[in-house]
Structure 1
Amino acid sequence: MSELNVQEVMALIPNRFPIYYIDAVESLEPGKKIRAKKNITFNEDFFQGYFPQDPQMPGTLILETLAQAGSVLILKSPAFLGKRAYIGGINRAKFHEKVYPGDVLFCEFEIIKLKGPVGTANAAAYVGENCVCEAEFTFIVNQEA
């Protein structure tokens, strides 16, 4: 059972099809960390043009999925209710493995530092037990959404 379903996540973040990627939130500690999931299906738009002979999820979209998970975490945190989160920077992004149709991508995002409306977080994406991507995010929380 998920902590947040698709409708609850969509109520928090402004992303919509075709750039909406979170299917469910499995665990959430407001202000601290989140674990969300994305089911990767062959029906995704990006598979039509990104290596059609060897379909794989683009690394930039793995980072976007991590950012969306981070947005949910930030916007469910009491200090930021009703606001909007933005990516301020992505550092030390590393891609370890490819993500294919049929995979389930688990996204973990943990806030490690927060000063006013600016923070940093460690993020990692997994398929099963394998880390496929990791990065450090800087985020900015803006005034009312």
Structure 2
Amino acid sequence: MSDTAREPDFPHPEELLPHRAPFLLVDEIVELEPGKSCVGLWHLSGDEAFFTGHFPGRPTLPGVLMVEAIAQTAGLAAASASSLEGKLALFGGIDKARFRRQVIPGDTLRLEATIDRLSTRGGRARGTATVNGQVVCEASMMFLFADAKPVD
């Protein structure tokens, strides 16, 4: 057995969220406290389609996608709570969204989200996105839960 501490195994975001490429914006989970908090990473290669048009010659991650990535990270924390199995988290509101600096191809966003309130009907969360320790986006949000069964 090695002397180095082994990183815990966390589920892949696809195991907890219904999102799929190209709209799954969390590549990996690095910390998870079910029903309470999550830290994830989003590695931006520069090959993402939105960089082509936002903006030609100066590719910049759209702020709305940063907020969505934070929301998905909060969704991972919520979805990992066993009481919410079979539920789909939907935006109920976004508050206090602030954007602090440009995010460009090659950056990795560290996404941190904390659930402030959680019930079977919805909840509140807050989160931040950082690049190299600098805050690039922060927001608070409300979410509602719907039945996750596919619509016929």
Q: TM-score, normalised by structure 1?
A: 0.91
Partner in structure 2 of residue 80 of structure 1: 84
Runs of 5+ consecutive residues of structure 1 not aligned to the other structure:
none
- Is 1:4 matched with 2:10? yes
> What is the CA-CA distance between 1:26 and the residue it aligns to?
0.3
User: Structure 1 55/144 Cα, relative in aligned 2: closer, same or farther at 3 Å?
Assistant: closer
| C-alpha separation in 2, matches of 1:57 and 1:109 | 19
- The one of 43, 50, 55 aligned to 2:54: 50
Gaps of 5+ in 2: 1-6
Taking only the aligned residue pairs, the percentage that are identical comes to 34
Aligned residue among 106, 110, 119 for 1:106: 110
Paired residue total:
143
Range with greater deviation from structure 2 (126-135 or 76-85): 76-85
Does 2:129 align with 1:138?
no
Aligned residue number for residue 69 of structure 2: 65
Letter in 2 for 1:30: P
Bigger Cα Rg: 2
Please say if residues 2 and 24 of structure 1, whose CA atoms lie closer than 8 Å, have aligned partners that are also in contact.
Answer: no
TM-score, with structure 2 as normaliser: 0.87
Q: Within 2, Cα distance between the matches of 1:112 and 1:19?
A: 25
**1:90–1:136 CA contact under 8 A, matched in 2:** yes
Mapped to 2, the partners of 1:125 and 1:131 lie a distance apart of 6
Deviations, residues 107-129 of structure 1 (Å, cap 9, x unaligned): 11101123441211111101011
Cα contact 1:9–1:24 (8 A) shared by 2: yes
Amino acid at match of 1:29: E
Question: How far apart in 2 are the matches of 1:114 and 1:17?
Answer: 27
Q: Which residue of 1 aligns with 2:132?
A: 128
* C-alpha distance in structure 1 between counterparts of 2:72 and 2:108, whole Å: 16
CA contact 2:84–2:120 (8 Å) conserved in 1: no
SS at match of 1:11: helix
